[in-house]
Amino acid sequence: MQFLLALIVVGPLIGAVAALLPAPPGLRGTSPDQAVLRHGVTVTGAILIAAVVLALGFDHDQPSKMQATTDISWIAALDVRIHLGVDGISLPLLVLTALLTFLCALYSYFKMPSGPSPKGFVALLLVLESGTLATFAVLDLVLFFLAFEMVLIPMYFLIARWGGSEGVTGGRQAAAWKFILYTLLGSVVMLLGLLLIGLNAGTFDMVALATDNGRGLSTSVQLIAVLAIGLGLAVKTPMWPLHSWLPDAHTAAPTVGSVLLAGVLLKMGTYGFVRIILPIAPDGMRTFAPYLAAFAVVGIIYGSLACLALAKQGAGGDLKRLIAYSSVGHMGFVLLGIATMTPTGVNGALFANIAHGLITGLLFFLVGAVKERYGSADLDTLAGATGAALYGRAPRLGGLLAFAAVASLGLPGLAGFWGEMLAMFGAFNPAEGLSRPAFLTFMVIAGFGTLLTAAYLLIVVRRVCMGAQPREAPQAGAPQAGPTEPARFTDVQTYEFAAWTPLVALTVLAGLWPAILLGLTDPAVQKLLAGGKS
């Protein structure tokens, strides 16, 4: 198990180096490009298999215990250690990351984004996977920061070199620069907070710090640390009003870039809140929790209103941009659950993390497919004279888009429902020391946000899936005819089914059987909030 976890973290890095080397003669296939894309599928597939084996070998009777641990001294002078391990909190995120990266590699094998050589694309994809997996597996604050930063460069290049030609603020280069500047500035502040904790506590070990539960840190140190670390994590989450890099990045990114950005990278921020801030600086978190909840519910309403404005007829809204704004709202529910500091709320936040990764990843795949077929993701174009009417022109694609939309709005029985409901339940009865009237207000506002979410997603389904069908222009002298049968174009293809079916299946499975996730996270969350005591 120790070797397996180390392989999961380091394997993609080795694969990235191998991707840059010439392919052996017997593995070149029809072209070098095909060989390197197949290499990406093979490496990410092997990592996914390793993650599934790790999950199957995980002791599900003790999900609160760190398992598959490796602890090696790295920088003795600072007591920085190569410390790896997984528990019920990090295991689902590891598997989700491995799954989404494999599906992106598989999708790219058949539909490579336009841009430079596939060698660089595959290498960057694998470096990105290694960084995200390491973020969820490391148990040392310095290593956490290094893994947290490791994903920035590959994502920057994926947006800048393989992104779409259009960007809201002047092109994909501008969107990529905005992404990296926001996240780097946030990370500098976060590093100061991590160093403050490590130097004052005498260790950077996250397990030891969580067990100490803030007893070795003064209240003032906790307050400064929570503020500094929280700002860095909030940028990556993204929390309103530090979210403005996200819509531009999503609009400019290639399809697989958007899938990984929404499905994996945003989870790194919320995971940091749960793994670092909640157990290590509980007094500081308790002071800032009401403000975090307030920003969270403002984000829920703001994201929903922005989506409604984009979905309105004549607004010229981009469908990818709309889904990006929807992520601001959905991640608001995650932050609200964390801010309650209760087992119910934190479990809801972790569940919503996984659900958002599955559903929004599927949505970006689908929107990418629609944009590829129409040459545009503009809602007015899709719902106007060109006659999207996906139900009539590509019924499977339209059905999948409608399914993803109703899952995203939180339909009971699908994965999107449980996380948001548990987050609001946590706000109904927050942790001791938090103002219940304030959190009841936050709960009501969040509940109103769910209605707005349903409104804009149903508008999108109505306009895109049931939009006006085109009429054939009558010939001179010919009698006027009614609407013609809409011209068909390629519906969902085999490779798209292969990439999307696991996300659909897991969305249904998590919705019908939430215990599959909550059974893992709840004991670990209980131990986390109790200061390392089971």
State pLDDT tens for residues 480-527: 433 334 444 677 788 888 889 999 999 999 999 999 999 899 999 998
Mean pLDDT score of the chain, rounded to an integer? 85
pLDDT of residue 180: 87
Contact 525, 207 (CB under 8 A): no
- Return left, alpha or beta for 160; rule: phi > 0 is left, psi -120 to 50 is alpha, else beta: alpha
Q: Which of 421, 124, 395 is nearest to 254 (CA)?
A: 124
pLDDT of residue 338: 94
Task: List all residues 6 or more positions away from 421 whose beta carbon is below 8 Å from its beta carbon.
Answer: 348, 410
Determine how many CB atoms are found less than 10 A away from the CB of residue 494. 8
Task: List all residues 6 or more positions away from 6 whose beta carbon is below 8 Å from its beta carbon.
Answer: 70, 84
Name 405's bridge partners. none
Torsion angle defined by CA atoms of residues 316, 322, 324 and 327, in that order, rounded to the nearest 10 degrees: 160
How many whole angstroms separate alpha carbon 12 and alpha carbon 129?
Answer: 7
φ, ψ for residue 75, nearest 5 deg: -120, 95
pTM value? 0.89
How many whole angstroms separate alpha carbon 434 and alpha carbon 289?
Answer: 8
Residue 339: Cβ-neighbour burial (10 angstroms; 0-12, 13-18, 19+): buried
> Identity (one letter) of the amino acid at 326?
S
How many whole angstroms separate alpha carbon 393 and alpha carbon 515?
Answer: 38
Both tokens of residue 123?
């290498």
How many whole angstroms separate alpha carbon 458 and alpha carbon 442?
Answer: 25
pLDDT of residue 410: 87
DSSP character at residue 116 = S
Task: List all residues 6 or more positions away from 333 whose beta carbon is below 8 Å from its beta carbon.
Answer: 296, 300, 348, 349, 352, 419, 420, 423, 424, 446
Contact 102, 39 (CB under 8 A): no
Tokens 């909550």, residue?
518
φ, ψ for residue 91, nearest 5 deg: -60, -50
Name 378's bridge partners. 318
**Residues comprising the chain, all counted:** 534
Tell me, rounded to whole angstroms, the distance of Cα 509 from its chain centroid: 19
pLDDT of residue 319: 85
pLDDT of residue 475: 46
State pLDDT tens for residues 344-375: 999 999 999 999 999 999 999 998 888 887 77
Which residues of the chain carry a pLDDT beneath 70?
Answer: 23-30, 165-170, 314-315, 383-389, 467-489, 531-534
Strand, helix or coil for residue 305:
helix
Tokens 């009698």, residue?
479
Q: Which of 244, 233, 346 is nearest to 299 (CA)?
A: 244
Contact 414, 320 (CB under 8 A): no
